[in-house]
Structure 1
Amino acid sequence: MGITNYTGVMRRMLLGAVMSGGLVACAPEFANHGYIPPQEDLDQIVVGVDTRASIEESIGVPSTAGVVNDSGFYYVRSRKKTLGPLAPKEIERQVLAISFDSAGVVSNVERFGLERGQVVPLSRRVTTSGVENNGFLRQLLGNLGRFNPTALAG
Structure 2
Amino acid sequence: MFTFTQLKKSTTRFALVAVTVGALAACSAVYRNHGYTPTPDELNEITVGVDTRDSVIEAVGAPSSGGVLDESGLYYVATRMRHYGPRAPQIVSRELVAISFNQSGTVKNVERFGLEDGRVVTLQRRVTTSSVESSTFLRQLLGNLGNFNPAAALGQ
Specify the TM-score bucket, using the shorter chain as the normaliser.
Answer: 0.7 to 0.9
Letter in 1 for 2:118: V
Moved over 3 A (4+): none
Secondary structure of the residue aligned to 1:108 is strand
What is the match of residue 79 of structure 2?
A: 78
Structure 2 spans left out of the alignment, 5+ residues: 120-156
Matches within 5 A, 1:55-70: 55-68=56-69, 70=71
Structure 2 distance, partners of 1:16, 1:101, is 64
Matches within 5 A, 1:1-154: 1-68=2-69, 70-115=71-116, 118-119=117-118
Q: Which protein shows a greater Rg?
A: 2
Structure 2 distance, partners of 1:51, 1:70, is 11
Structure 2 distance, partners of 1:70, 1:76, is 19
Structure 1 spans left out of the alignment, 5+ residues: 121-154
Paired residues, number: 118
Higher strand share: 1
C-alpha distance after superposition, 1:113-135 (max 9, x if no partner): 002xx518xxxxxxxxxxxxxxx
Structure 2 distance, partners of 1:59, 1:69, is 18
Superposed CA RMSD:
1.4
TM-score using structure 2 length: 0.71
TM-score using structure 1 length: 0.72
Q: CA deviation at 1:70?
A: 2.8
Q: CA deviation at 1:69?
A: 5.6
